[in-house]
Amino acid sequence: MRPGRASHAGEGRSTVFEREAPPAALVDASLEGTRDGCFWLEDVGDAVAYPVLDGAHAADLLVVGGGYTGLWTAVKAKVRNPATRVVLLEAQTVGWAASGRNGGFCDASLTHGEENGRARWPDEYDTLERLGQDNLEALAKAVEALGIDCELERTGSLDVAVEPHQVEWLHESGGEVLDTAAVRAEVNSPTYLAGVWHRDSTAMVHPAKLAKELARVATGLGVEIFENSAAESLETAGRTGPVLVRTPRGSVRAGRVALATNVFPSLLARTRLLTVPVYDYALMTEPLSAAQREEIGWRHRQGVGDMANQFHYYRLSADGRILFGGYDAVYHYGRKVRSAYEDRPATYRTLASHFLTTFPQLEGIRFTHRWAGAIDTSTQFCAFHGLAKQGRVAYSAGFTGLGVGATHFAADVMLDRLSGERTPRTEVEMVRKKPLPFPPEPAAAVGINLTRWALDRADHREGRRNAWLRALDAAGLGFDS
Q: 86 has which bridge partners?
A: 61
By the 8 A CB rule, do 5 and 381 touch?
no
Q: Please tell me the distance from the alpha carbon of residue 35 to that of residue 332, in angstroms, as a whole number.
A: 24
Q: Assign residue 303 a region (left: φ > 0; alpha: ψ between -120 and 50; beta: otherwise).
A: beta
Q: Please tell me the distance from the alpha carbon of residue 128 to that of residue 427, in angstroms, as a whole number.
A: 11
Q: 377 has which bridge partners?
A: 276
What pLDDT shows up at residue 281?
98
Nearest alpha-carbon partner for 351 in 375, 367, 373: 367
Torsion of CA 160, 163, 280, 210, to 10 degrees: 0
Q: Which domains occur in the chain, in start order?
A: 16-32+157-198+276-377+442-474 (3.30.9.10), 55-149+206-275+380-432 (3.50.50.60)
Q: Please tell me the distance from the alpha carbon of residue 90 to that of residue 166, in angstroms, as a whole number.
A: 42
Q: Please tell me the distance from the alpha carbon of residue 438 to that of residue 420, in angstroms, as a whole number.
A: 30
What pLDDT shows up at residue 8?
40
DSSP 231-286: --EEEE-TTTS-EEEEETTEEEEEEEEEE--TTSPPSSGGGTTS-EEEEEEEEEEP
Nearest alpha-carbon partner for 73 in 413, 400, 375: 413
What pLDDT shows up at residue 464?
86
DSSP 2-37: ----------SSPPHHHHTPPPHHHHHHHHTT-EES
What pLDDT shows up at residue 453?
87
What pLDDT shows up at residue 166?
96
Does the model's pTM come out above 0.85?
A: yes
> Checking DSSP bridges between strand 250-259 and strand 55-64, what pairing results, if any?
parallel
> Checking DSSP bridges between strand 312-316 and strand 157-161, what pairing results, if any?
unpaired
| Exposure on the CB side of residue 164, measured as CA atoms within 13 A | 4
What pLDDT shows up at residue 12?
66
Q: Please tell me the distance from the alpha carbon of residue 145 to that of residue 380, in angstroms, as a whole number.
A: 33
| Per-block mean pLDDT, blocks of 10 residues, the chain (481 long) | 35 85 97 97 92 98 98 98 98 97 98 93 97 98 98 98 95 92 98 97 98 98 98 93 97 98 94 95 98 97 94 97 95 93 96 98 98 95 96 97 97 98 97 94 91 87 85 69 41
> How far is residue 189 from each of residues 358, 394, 405, measured CA to CA in Å?
6, 45, 28
Q: Please tell me the distance from the alpha carbon of residue 83 to that of residue 67, in angstroms, as a whole number.
A: 23
Nearest alpha-carbon partner for 132 in 156, 113, 109, 157: 109
Residues 6+ apart with CB under 8 A from 75: 146, 214, 217, 218, 221, 223, 411
DSSP-derived letter for residue 344 is: -
